[in-house]
Amino acid sequence: KQLHFAIPVEKPSYKNVVTIREMSFRYDQRWIFQEVNLDIYRGERLALVGLNGSGKTTLTRLLSGQLSAQKGVVKLGRNVVLGYYAQHQIDQLNLENTVYNEVLSAAAANSVEKIRDVLGIFNFSGDDILKKIKVLSGGEKARVSLVKILLSPVNFLIMDEPTNHLDLSSRQALENALAEYGGTLLLISHDRYFLDKLVHRVFELKEGRLQSYEGNYSDYLQKREERRVEYISEIRGKTAPSSREKIKEKKRREAEARQAISRERKTLEQEIRTIENRLNKLEQQKTDLENQMADPASYGNSEKAARMQIAYTATTQELEQLYLSWETVQMQLEELMSRLQKND
């Protein structure tokens, strides 16, 4: 059975959804952003990517009004109704409410009759919807927060890792709903395939700056790799300034330093290739499992279905860890190339 629901948009926003001008923000003495400029327009479907700690969640909290910038302007456009989902949002749930009443408190008028069905899609069925929020696990609370946002009358959705705590059927239902969503969408996710199916522009957050890439996540990775290869070629093509006054010992030390960096670069590049090969295999494995689990025939054997669900969960968890490892090694490689440029 294909699970499906629609995210309500009662009233569209004006063209300009977000305007950021010369925005700077810091925690204590550390600047997270410096002079950032950003425009988001109605109907755009965007991904926000960057290394852990680069400020992705901080930026979404600035957009949602939970934080205020020390400098510059962060402004939402006219008629923008923002819905924000993130793990920390579970702290805003009313612990004394039942699951049903908590969702009802935020639901759009035309979504009230769908509450039970949508809660069922996210694994709250029967008497589960009468449980109080305070007895739920962290993952269950996260799913309640997600359903609240999805049934709210918002025209700008910001979602930070929305597929966490979801099984395959819930994830696919969310993906389908977001694909048909008529508002503006900003996503943070480590799930490459999830982003590929939903976004058409990627913002990379790096060292407090935003770089825009047209296309989906795969397009972003390709363009990023092309820039890295071009950067390496430029460095290799440079000729270090020669001077007869340079002593032989200094030349030797510089050569040794370059060789050490070169060896380290090759090691990191090999590590990246190894991770990417494993990622490709796991993504294929994940796709195969999804196809098997989507086959109605698989439900006839409960033991087999349970084994496939366990395998799927293990695969997605390993994928998430590998993407984090890939980001870490990429950062190490970029720092190394920066050192090489300084040496030249």
pLDDT tens column, 50-104: 888 888 999 999 999 999 999 999 999 999 999 999 888 888 899 999 999 999 9
| Cα–Cα distance measured from residue 282 to residue 319, given in angstroms and rounded to the nearest whole number | 7
- pLDDT tier at 341 (50, 70, 90 boundaries)? low
pLDDT reported for residue 60: 92
**What are the extents of the domains in the chain?**
16-214, 253-343
What is the share, in percent, of the chain residues with pLDDT greater than 90? 40
- Reply yes or no on domain 253-343 having CATH 1.10.405: no
CATH fit for domain 16-214, picks 3.40.50.300, 1.10.630.10, 3.30.420.40, 3.60.20.40: 3.40.50.300
Please name the residue ranges forming H helices in the chain: 56-63, 99-104, 115-121, 138-150, 168-180, 192-198, 217-237, 248-294, 302-343
Tokens of 88: 């920390």
Are 16-214 and 253-343 in the same CATH fold? no
Tokens of 51: 């290394």
Tokens of 227: 């820039």
Contact present, 186 and 48 (Cβ < 8 Å): yes
pLDDT reported for residue 340: 67
Predicted TM-score (pTM) of this structure: 0.70
| Cα–Cα distance measured from residue 331 to residue 51, given in angstroms and rounded to the nearest whole number | 8
